Amino acid sequence: MILVLLGPPGAGKGTQGERIAERLGIPKIATGDVLRAAVRDGTEQGLAAKAYMDRGDLVPDSVILGIMKEVLSSPAAAKGAILDGVVRTVPQAEGLTTMLAELGRKVDRFLLFDVPEDELMKRLGGRVVCDSCQTPYKGLEPGTRCEKCGGNLVRRKDDEPEAIRNRLKVYEAQTAPVIEWTKEKKMNLHKIDATGELDDVTERAMKALEEPTK
């Protein structure tokens, strides 16, 4: 199954993507994590992406589609993948669809995580992430150790208030049109309420995946 997670920054795509991946036994691939690792490793791709990411702007489509091509043709994605944070523009959606068609595959479902904006601001303002495995946490201080891998918990540069505001604007301008695009193309889009307890959100997501496809 190829599952695309859509939703604004802080909607819980990373948190729920991990849980859904575990349930379905397929990997979760997050373009944000791939890019942050490239920044950390100081690769050419990372150096090119860093300024966009720190401001909360989108990295150019060509870079993202290059990453997706590599990821989707790798053996790890042979049984399927959960794509977190891609697609974020209509050209990315079109590029991904074409790329998958060339591999004889398609996006099976889009899951749209719905959370009101004031809740998003609260979540992102209070988030720390592991600088090693990228697991997000709330209610912990930077410098605490990651429960999963022992890495160091840090605040993301794009979780500063100005960058959060920009990311939300960018989402409305460039990513929200992808939702209309999925409707025009008669894709399987499921919107779920992503507020409340983590387990409840996971159950809503799993239930949506059981709905009949078009």
Which residues are annotated as catalytic? 13, 88, 127, 156, 167
Pairing of strands 28-30, 109-114: unpaired
In sequence order, the 6+-apart residues with CB closer than 8 A to the CB of 105 are 2, 72
Q: Is 109 in the site for ligand AP5 (CB under 6 A)?
A: no
Residues near ligand AP5 (CB under 6 A), total: 33
User: Which structure tokens are listed for 80?
Assistant: 């399927």
23, 147, 198, 203: residue in contact with ligand AP5 (rule CB under 6 A): 198
Residues 72-91 that bind ligand AP5 (CB under 6 A): 85-86, 88
Nearer to ligand AP5, 47 or 214 (CB): 47
Q: Is 95 in the site for ligand AP5 (CB under 6 A)?
A: no
Q: Are 157 and 163 in contact (CB under 8 A)?
A: yes
Q: Is the dihedral of CA 115, 117, 119, 124 positive or negative?
A: positive
- Reduced to 3 states, what is the DSSP secondary structure of residue 145? strand
Q: Is 202 in the site for ligand AP5 (CB under 6 A)?
A: no
158, 187, 188, 192: residue in contact with ligand AP5 (rule CB under 6 A): 158
Q: Is 133 in the site for ligand AP5 (CB under 6 A)?
A: no
Nearer to ligand AP5, 12 or 212 (CB): 12
Q: Are 104 and 78 in contact (CB under 8 A)?
A: no
CB of residue 59 to ligand AP5, shortest distance in Å: 4
Q: Is 19 in the site for ligand AP5 (CB under 6 A)?
A: no
CB of residue 132 to ligand AP5, shortest distance in Å: 15
Short-list 105, 102, 86, 93, CA closest to 183: 93
**Is omega for the bond preceding 115 within 30 degrees of 0, making it cis?**
no
- Reduced to 3 states, what is the DSSP secondary structure of residue 105? coil
| Cα–Cα distance measured from residue 54 to residue 66, given in angstroms and rounded to the nearest whole number | 21
Stretch that binds ligand AP5, among 3-11, 21-29, 74-82, 185-193 (CB under 6 A): 3-11
Q: Is 28 in the site for ligand AP5 (CB under 6 A)?
A: no
| Cα–Cα distance measured from residue 49 to residue 96, given in angstroms and rounded to the nearest whole number | 20
| Footprint on this chain of ligand AP5 (rule: CB under 6 A) | 7, 9-15, 30-32, 35, 52-53, 56-59, 64, 85-86, 88, 92, 123, 127, 136-138, 158, 167, 196, 198, 201
